[in-house]
A = this chain, B = another copy of it.
Amino acid sequence: MAEQFIDISELAARSGLAASALRFYEAEGLIVSLRSAGNRRRFPRSILRKVAFIRAAQNVGLTLDAIKAALGGLPSGRTPTKADWESLSRQWAVLLDEKIAALHRLRNALGSCIGCGCLSLKRCALYNPGDAARAKGFGARYLLGDDPKQFMASEGEG
């Protein structure tokens, strides 16, 4: 029933992305297209899945380069197989869990902050999650899920 291929405008409409973005993705090697006699792009329907995949990965915080690398093992025409999905999904799930945990930390800090009287900043969870700053550089970054490298590096300071 449905056409085998879709053109860039339909892909744009169905994916919610601008045509220019899709051309950009193709230029970057994230997606591939066949061409019509008149050189128009013809995308197989499976491209929708791939684009959804790309957007999802982006939302998990991956760069387009990283996504390309993740898809890189696949022969150019191929869309992700079940195994590809499984392995990538597991990796992403970990990233997502980390992101969610970081946001929860921030959310909770914010919750206690709302009624805490932040002007007595010694006790403000958002300002400083531990208690007083025991190590230099141990500010809100830990709370935000950033790599607390200074903290790790200078333990036993205060």
Contact = CB atoms under 8 A, between A and B. Distances in A.
Contacts of A52: 126-128, 139-140
Interface in A106-151: 106-107, 110-111, 113-115, 117-119, 121, 124, 126-128, 133, 136-141, 143-146, 150
A103 B80 CA distance: 22
A48 B119 CA distance: 13
Given A56-B126, A56-B144, A89 B110 contact: yes
B82 A119 contact: yes
A36 B85 CA distance: 58
A60 interface: yes
This chain's copy number in the assembly: 2
- Chain A interface residue count: which class? 35 or more
A96 interface: yes
B96 A107 contact: yes
Given A82-B119, A103-B103, A143 B96 contact: no
Interface string A88-114: 011011001101101110110011011
A24 B86 CA distance: 43
A147 to B, nearest CB: 9
B49 A121 contact: yes
Q: Which 4 A-B pairs have the closest CB atoms?
A: A52-B140, A85-B118, A16-B141, A96-B107
